[in-house]
Structure 1
């Protein structure tokens, strides 16, 4: 639930330091708490630019309009503090005074990560991972869907698959994800990844499109039930059975294992074919 932050920071980090849009993005990020109660004119005044510049910036950030950007920021801020607690303390909400006991945080966070990974290792069958690897190989195209973090993680697998000749897409902008999903056929594969179900909750329109797609549908998440869960072909449940953001380590682990398994089973074959 931090998409607006990801979008702003990624935009700032990949543009020139004297770019007018990047400078506006920096000011917006610094004053992010003002966005929910501000108009586009207010934001333009904060940034010393025109409202047209703010509109163009929103489109550069992959929003259709300032209204969409404002709505996403508002939702992000509502979840942000809760996410911070879930990140550090798993599903156990700490007492406020506990936040200052850094040594305990250091230890408990480590233990929660290990427990989450152990749960993933114990609950997932190797055969399920092998099935996914084979499904990737058999598919004409592979489409990855999710929010910014899991899309970034899936990019490593996408790079490996692309190197070995597999057509992949992992668009982050939601409208682009929808366009790609609508083009998929029964010979294609969709892999949705969401740590604690935020993608499914926030973007039911994308999940609706996925549910209607003819492509084979795999979801990697900590949840066993979510919107349209009865319409997907396979759920690979990782981590523990709650909504902890620590599950990101388990999802990263799964993607890295899939990358290694795919290379071991099909990589050498494809490389030899390229050489011939």
Structure 2
């Protein structure tokens, strides 16, 4: 399984990309993100004043940006950067294929990875509880405020589901930015639905504050994951259990397939044209 530290580090790159892809180039945070992306190897050895000077901002602005990325402060971010720089296997957390095999035998590496994905997918039909999924889909259909929470690929899958639902006449929210997700968590009510998507449970590395707000709101909480445990540390109303990947890293394929199946199921249950066929 991936180490939590690796996942959190990947989270940093993911959030930097979000800033650079979505923010206005005149935005202060955009300039900080751009500097960090182009000079990442230097960050672990820079004092906050040095980074502030390089970005032409104040140390306080750097501190706010660090918190926006999900870190407690600059020292916390810097510590993660130092861990990443010292990890010679930093790129090996993508899939469970030895880099040496991919270098010398790409065809064999491809076959090995495909077999891992197949094994995960074959377990999916027995893992999914469609009685639970139908209850979740009814919540999505009936509730006005439905918000997805997640990061990295889980967030991308949530946005894929969000797009399908919009095509079917249902508007939901799935912000890429963690700060926007936090704002949503703060504004949830008992009539809202929060859908937390986290294949391996690593979302909690940066989401503890969100969970506190969700618990306080008393909204309905849905968890989509391959994990057996409730890692959210708050009560959940529904759990959609994905197949547990034997290799530890192909769960994203089970997640994407599940949300696509859920989209189709939603269509069969709530599309006027399909309802009339019953």
Q: How many residues align?
A: 264
Specify the SS of the correspondent of 2:92: helix
CA shift digits 1:4-53 (9 cap, x unpaired) = 212222333346889997565344213213323322332345x5x41349
The two structures, once aligned, show a CA RMSD in angstroms of 3.7
Indicate yes or no: 2:136 matched with 1:128. no
Q: CA deviation at 1:196?
A: 0.9
Q: Residues 225 and 242 of structure 2 are in contact (CA less than 8 Å); yes or no, is this contact kept in structure 1?
A: yes
Which of 19-28 and 172-181 deviates more?
A: 19-28
Q: Residues 161 and 260 of structure 2 are in contact (CA less than 8 Å); yes or no, is this contact kept in structure 1?
A: yes
Q: Residues 189 and 218 of structure 2 are in contact (CA less than 8 Å); yes or no, is this contact kept in structure 1?
A: yes
Q: Residues 190 and 218 of structure 1 are in contact (CA less than 8 Å); yes or no, is this contact kept in structure 2?
A: yes
Aligned equivalent of 2:149: 145
| In 1, Cα distance between equivalents of 2:142 and 2:25 | 45
The verdict on how the C-alpha distance between 1:182 and 1:167 changes in structure 2, with shifts beyond 3 A counting, is: farther
Indicate yes or no: 2:8 matched with 1:5. no
The verdict on how the C-alpha distance between 1:218 and 1:42 changes in structure 2, with shifts beyond 3 A counting, is: same
Aligned equivalent of 1:205: 209
Which of 235-244 and 147-156 deviates more?
A: 235-244
CA shift digits 1:208-266 (9 cap, x unpaired) = 33334322111011111143456111221213166823211111111112122212321
Aligned equivalent of 2:36: 28
The verdict on how the C-alpha distance between 1:119 and 1:213 changes in structure 2, with shifts beyond 3 A counting, is: farther
Q: What is the TM-score with the length of structure 1 in the denominator? A: 0.76
Q: What is the TM-score with the length of structure 2 in the denominator? A: 0.76
Specify the SS of the correspondent of 2:195: strand
**Equivalences for residues 46-61 of structure 1 within 5 A:** 47=54, 49-52=55-58, 55=61, 59=65
Aligned equivalent of 1:41: 49
Aligned equivalent of 1:194: 198
Higher helix share: 1
1:71 counterpart (44, 53, 76): 76
Q: CA deviation at 1:164?
A: 4.4
| In 2, Cα distance between equivalents of 1:78 and 1:190 | 33
Specify the SS of the correspondent of 1:231: coil
5+ unaligned residues in a row in structure 2: which ranges?
1-6
Q: CA deviation at 1:191?
A: 0.6
Aligned equivalent of 1:89: 96
The verdict on how the C-alpha distance between 1:243 and 1:100 changes in structure 2, with shifts beyond 3 A counting, is: closer
The verdict on how the C-alpha distance between 1:64 and 1:123 changes in structure 2, with shifts beyond 3 A counting, is: closer
Q: CA deviation at 1:148?
A: 3.4
5+ unaligned residues in a row in structure 1: which ranges?
none
Specify the SS of the correspondent of 1:87: coil
**Equivalences for residues 172-183 of structure 1 within 5 A:** 172-183=176-187
Which of 199-208 and 236-245 deviates more?
A: 236-245
